[in-house]
A and B are shown apart, each in its own frame.
Chain A
Amino acid sequence: MTRFGVLGGSGTVGRVVVDRLAGAGPLRVGGRDAGRAAEVCASHPGAEPVRADLADAAGLAAFCAGCDVVVNCAGPSYRVLDRVARAALAAGAHYVDAAGDVVALDALADGPPARLADRAAVFSAGLMPGLSGLLPRVLAAAGPLARLDVYVGGAAAIGPLSAVDALLTRGPRFGTALAAWRGGAVVPNALRPLRSVALPGFRGRVHAWPFLSAEAAGLAAALGVDELRNHTVYVTEEIPRALAAAWADEEGPVDAHVPAVVAAADADLAATGPYYTLLFQAVPREHVPGRPRRLVLRTPDSYALSGVVAALTARALADGAIPPGAHLAADVLDPAATLAALRGDPLVTGVELT
């Protein structure tokens, strides 16, 4: 049987991974706090709690040893990069990262481990990046698209660690604000922020900020769409304001802006309650009646849903459905099968394919 190791298993994302992998094989649950890891294992017979600190190389190697698949849910991803991936591969395990983006993938490609010949490392196995790059492929399954509009966002708490991630994942390697993908290239300043707009699947009026993420640009190139518009959606303007204020302050330390970002997210939550929506709308090149053009997926908890995706990725690896090598989840998961699995998950409160 496949043995799964879940790092950061007592966190918001990790708990869901543990829950969704229960029964698929023996589980090893790692956390910085052994007590909390044990608490998670208490409700899953056969799960084994292990104290594990990402900063401790020997401990990390020991955690990975004997695992067939290691799922990392610990962050922050800018600090994790390819560190756990290398430890997992060295131990002969496949690797799944619930976060980790192109930057982490690039770090692994810089001196690639030999085990990538027969093992896989899958990054961005979460909601965004992850589902945001995978699900649009459902709409493209029946034929090429002229245009794809992506809106992802809602209201969710942002903890101090996530706030640091949000503040640091900025720059050309992550994406370009206000840009669109048109005719095979990134077009800067092509779009404007949409304030107070009604969008299918979102509550009331929301604010959509165009941001052509690296994932979105990759998706556009992979699908060959003529135009792709990617937006991050906020329920108030508090978060974009807080981020802009932080980014404008070039000299100050990032940490100084964390409380403002956390408070902005709390204000959003107070405004609408927790919810997150992924909206994809396509214009096919050829009009075929009955072909779906819109996919909406809703969840009350965006972090927890990332755990569902990471667990699905781990199972796909265990089933041999993913070839060896380093990948982004969106490139190797089966879009339709993933959507079918999500439809049955209690954390998904609605899927509309119309």
Chain B
Amino acid sequence: MTVPPTLESDLAAIWAELLDLDPASIAPDATFLRLGGDSVLAVRMSALVRRRLAVELALADVTVEISLAALTDLVRDRASGDGAGARALPVEIVRRPDPSAPFPLMPLQQGYFVGQHDGWELSYASAHFYGDLALSRMDADEAAETLADALHRLALHQPTLRARITPEGEQYVLPPDAPGAIPGPRVLDLRDAADAEIAAALAATRAEMSTSGPNPLTGPGVDVRLTLLPGGRGRLHTAMSLIAMDGWSATVLNRELLTLATDWNAVPAPLEVDFGDYVAAIERLRHTGAWQADRDWWHDRLDAFPPPPALPLLADPRDVAPDLMDTRDARLAADRWTALKRRCAEHDVTPSAAMLTAFAVVLARWAGHRAMLLNTLQLNRLPLHPDIHRTIGAFAATMLVPVDLDGAAAFSDLVRAQQRTFTEHAAHNLVTGVEVSRELARRRGTVRPVAPIVFQSTLGMDAAIGQRQATAAGPLGELDFGDFYHQLRTPQVALEARFWEMNDEMAVAFSLVGELFDPSEVDYAFAELVELIGALADGYGWDRVLPLPDAARPGPADGHGRDRALALPDAAYPGPAEGLRVGDEPRAEAAVAPGPPRDELEQRIAALWEDLLDAPVLDRAETFFALGGDSLLAVRAVARLAKETGRAVGVRRFLDVPTVAGLADAVREGTA
């Protein structure tokens, strides 16, 4: 069956007829309801669609809330049969008329934004990545000016370097001539300093840049510094806000910055679209049938998702206030990385799938059960435009991946099974893990992160970006990737395994909240992961059947029946077998008595929530999330309450007891 090319205007004509409107006045995102339609007219509308376009729509599909764009998409889907096979993205990216107009945060940006407001347990004042790299054979007299110039030209080329975020949680790009729009590097000249002074200064710079990252709410999302050292040596320090840019962008930024520093005359190919244009397209995507189909796909599976790996904890996540994440890292030498890639190809799996499976095996042995929910960071961007892959912005999304390891299978079979699962889930990536997690948390009735154990792999990304990393950058000298220091701070994460390529080597790292875990357990688990990877590179790891715990899921939270961590021999295992685990629910808060809002303050809060959530708020004990709220709206609720009542409440305090009564108590505490 085919649909006419004029489908949207045909449908607009039907609406116009039913609603007595001018067809030209119907915007694609306007809902049938807002235009005056009701459920009766909606049924008549499906009838007209059937008669005029010969497309059958299920009654349940056509709700009064449907937009013209969503209906167009739905009709197109239905007309084309089962929708199997590769799907075309149902939106186009277009340049926004005003490039400095504000646009919404992407779902993952919202998570980071809320984290910066201390909204989550495991939050930080800034979510950012920090790295510094050794330089040698610098032209120290030229280096500072070269770097400033390169950064200036990069900020003209990449609008995200001029981006800011508003307190309400929107973002916009400053025009290049706005004061402070162009970030500049800071230079620390230690060419004449003694060794001790250098060591102290370097430690101070690292401490500062690691713990207080660039904050796009107050300035640029990137902080670049250069330390000049004796003998033509130096260090290039870069900190990037995760709200402003993702890991892929970090690679693009480093490469373009160094390319511009190498060549005064280099002119990057202009970008036809920017991050804001992409976000606007994604917003339209949310109104399409394709997006809704993906959402339904996830929602159908959520109730069967396993819990996160029940790793033993030393402390309740809500009680720790981490400053920095701990790191463990290792490298796989170039020849073994090449061998690993070859063996992956022979087994018909991607290196990322192999690493995900290896991480899952280590987690299963550590947690004592085989089925678990992992979070993954996805740097892939929707292919809306050929320039998207070289644009800097916070494109990244997360994706939840359930893992269910077969205790009797060889590792190669585990990888193949995991790759199938991963591919199947990734085929529904129009809806991000942030949105899916929100729904999962709502269904589980928790304000805890539902998947605080994270897997991130950029293996293969370098090839996708195209060019190789330069090893020299003009007056900045030569880059020594063997001398690289890095730090990550990302909210809602207890433990994150990261895999990336660096100068023909593969790097693997754990970033974790050190306060939560027994360091000897972390050491053991990381060593086991490194051993597994080595065995895969060397070949003997593929056919092994690794001992896995009997239990598929963790035992009950009271500790009985929970397996000891298998990975750790008893002698080396000092921790309690029956203590707190990842995924346990927090201590119960004092229950709020249900009932209508009790006083003027509670009534005022209920009215404010109704306004934000567009839903009735009738009970003082109903939680903000059960009512349809999300974390960004929570930040807004707190901000608006502060504006209306002059009383400030911390976001985390609100989220501890996210009810009308709880928020009212928090307000009263604040004024007491």
Residues of A within 8 A of B (CB): 149, 177-178, 188-189, 192-194, 197-200, 208, 229, 237, 240-241, 243-245, 247-248, 279, 281-283, 287, 289, 293-294, 354
Contacts and interface: CB of A to CB of B under 8 A. Distances in A.
B33 A245 contact: no
Contacts of B622: 198
Contacts of B595: 294, 354
B43 A294 contact: no
Interface in B43-85: 43-44, 47, 59-60, 64-65
Closest 8 CB pairs of A and B: A248-B43, A293-B596, A244-B39, A294-B596, A247-B40, A287-B600, A354-B595, A248-B44
Nearest to B621: A200
Interface string B554-598: 000000000000000000000000000000000000000011111
A194 B615 contact: yes
A200 B618 contact: yes
Contacts of A194: 615-616
A354 B598 CA distance: 9
A247 B42 CA distance: 11
B59 A245 contact: yes
A244 B64 CA distance: 11
Interface of B: 33-34, 36, 38-44, 47, 59-60, 64-65, 594-600, 603, 614-616, 618-619, 622, 626
Contacts of A287: 599-600, 603
B615 A248 contact: no
B618 A281 contact: yes
B618 A354 contact: no
29 contacts: A178-B38, A194-B616, A197-B615, A197-B616, A199-B616, A237-B60, A240-B39, A241-B60, A244-B40, A244-B42, A244-B43, A245-B43, A245-B59, A247-B43, A248-B41, A248-B44, A248-B47, A279-B618, A281-B596, A281-B618, A283-B603, A287-B599, A287-B600, A287-B603, A289-B598, A289-B599, A293-B596, A294-B618, A354-B596
Contacts of A241: 39, 59-60
Contacts of A149: 616, 618
A193 B38 CA distance: 10
A193 B59 CA distance: 16
A152 to B, nearest CB: 14
Contacts of B599: 287, 289
Nearest to B59: A241
A53 B79 CA distance: 55
Contacts of A244: 39-40, 42-43
Contacts of A294: 595-596, 618
Contacts of B619: 200
Contact of B618 (A199, A247, A289): A199
Nearest to B38: A177
B530 to A, nearest CB: 47
Contacts of A289: 598-599
Contacts of B594: 200
Contact of A189 (B33, B42, B44, B614): B33
A235 B89 CA distance: 36
Given A197-B615, A198-B626, A189 B36 contact: yes
A149 B65 CA distance: 22
Contacts of B40: 244, 247-248
B604 to A, nearest CB: 10
B29 to A, nearest CB: 16
A230 to B, nearest CB: 12
Nearest to B39: A244
A236 B595 CA distance: 25
A48 to B, nearest CB: 47
Contacts of B34: 189
Contacts of B60: 237, 241
Contacts of A279: 618
Nearest to B33: A192
A229 B65 CA distance: 19
Contacts of A229: 616
Contacts of A281: 596, 618
Contacts of A293: 596-597
Contacts of B598: 289
Nearest to B599: A287
B49 to A, nearest CB: 13
Contacts of A197: 615-616
Nearest to B44: A248
Nearest to B46: A248
A221 B583 CA distance: 53
Nearest to A231: B616
Contacts of B616: 149, 194, 197, 199, 208, 229
A208 B618 CA distance: 13
Contacts of B615: 194, 197
Could you say which of B41, B603, B614 has the most chain A C-beta atoms within 10 Å of its C-beta?
B603
Nearest to B600: A287
Contacts of A247: 40, 43
Given A198-B626, A283-B603, A294-B595, A192 B39 contact: no
B618 A193 contact: no
Contacts of B33: 178, 189, 192
A281 B616 CA distance: 11
Nearest to B607: A283
Nearest to B595: A354
Nearest to B619: A200
A309 B41 CA distance: 36
A245 B618 CA distance: 31
A86 B595 CA distance: 46
Contacts of A283: 597, 603
Nearest to A192: B33
A42 B599 CA distance: 54
Contacts of B36: 188-189
A351 to B, nearest CB: 14
Nearest to A229: B616
A12 B546 CA distance: 68
B659 to A, nearest CB: 13
B234 to A, nearest CB: 59
A197 B619 CA distance: 12
Contacts of B39: 177, 193, 240-241, 243-244
Contacts of B41: 248
A96 B563 CA distance: 70
A10 to B, nearest CB: 36
A279 B595 CA distance: 12
A189 B618 CA distance: 21
A200 B603 CA distance: 16
B629 to A, nearest CB: 13
Contacts of B64: 192-193
A237 B594 CA distance: 27
Contacts of A192: 33, 64-65, 614
A289 B38 CA distance: 40
A130 to B, nearest CB: 23
A197 B33 CA distance: 19
Nearest to A295: B596
A260 B599 CA distance: 46
Nearest to A284: B603
A162 to B, nearest CB: 20
A127 to B, nearest CB: 21
A192 B33 CA distance: 8
Given A189-B34, A192-B65, 6 more contacts: A198-B626, A200-B594, A237-B60, A243-B39, A247-B43, A294-B595
A132 to B, nearest CB: 17
A229 B619 CA distance: 16
Nearest to A282: B596
A286 to B, nearest CB: 9
A212 B596 CA distance: 22
A119 B598 CA distance: 44
A72 B43 CA distance: 37
Contacts of A200: 594, 618-619
Contacts of B59: 241, 245
A237 B616 CA distance: 19
B43 to A, nearest CB: 4
